[in-house]
Amino acid sequence: MKRSRERLFIKAAFIGIIFFILGYIFSPHGITEEDHQQEIEQISTKYEEQMIDLQKNKTDISEIDSIRNNFIEEKDWKIYRGMASENYKGLKMEIEEVLLSNHPPSSIGVQFVLENTTDDTFSVFPDQGVLVTSTGEQVEFVEDSCSDPIGGEIFGEVSKKGVIFWNLERTNIEELNWVKVIFNAYKEEEHKKIVMKLELNE
């Protein structure tokens, strides 16, 4: 009986030590800047893996939107709404939201709405666009599973909606006054360079 109590005491003490160590590791005193960076990277990686899996399995768009919303909340985006619009011969292009984050890497997300109000077919490629910032940085689009594949043909009376992300190399988002998105649109053999400037002053 005595030995049984001693063993029970030893087990309880051992468990207590484990909980103490875990508590220290996950307390604010035990988290370093490197830990924080790894956490952000894990969030992005988790999101990308989920998106790839959902797209392969043709998952309902509402579930994809839910995961994207979680990603936005976790990365702590600053959101601007009601930004800019262009009309190319009945192809309406609007930017509903711009998302900015300084969490590494600094990122800009632009939510496009494309609407073909005609019976003709257009080709438009915002997901291959170039981002230019007021700080003098030019960023080419890099294919990323976090971005929506909204580029390509858009048939008559069809609309598309999606977010395109660019990663900044040397710009702090707090320094931005405006950004430009430059991309191509086509109607048959005719080409149009679309330039949409986004004022970020609140």
Are 177 and 120 a contacting pair, CB within 8 Å?
Answer: no
pLDDT tens for 25-58 read 444 444 454 554 455 455 445 545 554 554 455 4
Which pLDDT value is given to residue 27?
A: 44
Q: Which CATH class is domain 77-202?
A: mainly beta
Alpha-carbon distance 131 to 147, whole Å?
14
The percentage of residues in the chain with a pLDDT greater than 70, rounded to a whole number, is 60
Predicted confidence (pLDDT) per residue in 138-157, tens digit: 999 877 657 898 999 999 99
Q: What is the mean pLDDT of residues 169-195?
A: 93
At residue 83, the pLDDT reads 74
DSSP 8-state class, residue 169: S
Q: Give the SS3 label for residue 160.
A: strand
Q: Which residue has the tokens 């207590």?
A: 16
183 SS3 class: strand
**Which pLDDT score, from 0 to 100, does residue 64 have?**
52
> What's the whole-model pTM score?
0.64
> Looking at 12-21, 84-93, 101-110, 129-138, which range is the least confident one?
12-21
d(CA 73, CA 162): 17
Q: How far apart are CA 51 and CA 195, in angstroms?
A: 29
The domain segmentation of the chain, as residue ranges, is 77-202
At 159 the pLDDT is 96
Across 74-89, average pLDDT: 83
